[in-house]
Homo-oligomer: A and B are copies of this chain.
């Protein structure tokens, strides 16, 4: 039980779902049990994101209590970081496959998505965020503001819109591309929802990775971060991030041998990008893998890597790799196909 002293139940510090608040999740057991009955299922697969895996056994118990005895419940032990990251082994081998904690990247009958909405109150932090937004009373026109959030706060999105509207803002929102389920939703790799006509964007959510990508993708906008989890308001600052990325690009400029990573996770494959690099560069080697980790790449004697999979691995974990790790766009700069000032954030579009 040594873990408990460090991480109490429900503490999701290392998961990107960091929450300091107590909460009850709604696992939507009724939908799962209904599917088991409808399909006469004997095998049920459950997949949780990292921070919720601890809840797996309890959810399995709850399901077992509600279904026939001959139903086997299996929990995925594979790492899971998003809706792009379905456990396809388990999905193919179970009659009912449930993916918790993310909204659908693509609708399919094979998967029951249970979103697990946060019950954190977002309005106190929105109140604080007003200080970083234009003052509606200072102008004749209603100042326009974009509003985005993550899947776990989607259930409050309409309320958030009304709240800003009532305070005098012209609230601009949009649904992004196919990769996103909801209006106003952003992913760590996709900010198409913020592609709106407004100089300010309010991001309501935990963590700093999402708003950083958002600010990188929309350098013309002021991105205000209202973090209801850590109870803090900040403005996204891309400078440090850019410095780190330029440092990696510079280091990679001397590279002779390039490892080109094709990620085999269902929602992270960008085959055309990988193939294009290979066709252009005789010193590029295609490496396929699911989890892209420093340990795995250490085995390869390359001078630099370009990752066509999850851009967050490249940028957030970048410094942990033993050799420079670039996004496809950064690679183009490093090999001289593009000028340095075209460095941009690597976003991910479409589904699979």
- A interface residue numbers (CB < 8 A to B): 2-3, 45, 50, 53-54, 56-57, 60, 72-79, 87, 89-90, 257, 261-262, 264, 275, 278, 285-292, 296-302, 322
Contacts and interface: CB of A to CB of B under 8 A. Distances in A.
- Give the secondary structure class of A's interface: mixed
A62 to B, nearest CB: 12
Number of copies: 2
A78 B53 CA distance: 23
A72 B262 CA distance: 13
Given A50-B299, A300-B53, A300-B56, A76 B322 contact: no
12 contacts: A2-B322, A53-B299, A54-B300, A57-B300, A72-B275, A73-B285, A75-B286, A75-B288, A75-B300, A78-B289, A89-B264, A89-B290
A71 B96 CA distance: 39
Contacts of A79: 296
B77 A296 contact: yes
Contacts of A264: 89
A278 B72 contact: yes
Contacts of A78: 288-290, 296
Nearest to A56: B300
Contact of A285 (B57, B87, B90): B57
Contact of A54 (B76, B262, B301): B301
Given A57-B301, A75-B287, A78-B296, 15 more contacts: A53-B300, A54-B300, A56-B300, A57-B285, A57-B300, A73-B286, A75-B285, A75-B300, A76-B288, A76-B289, A77-B261, A77-B292, A78-B289, A89-B290, A90-B288
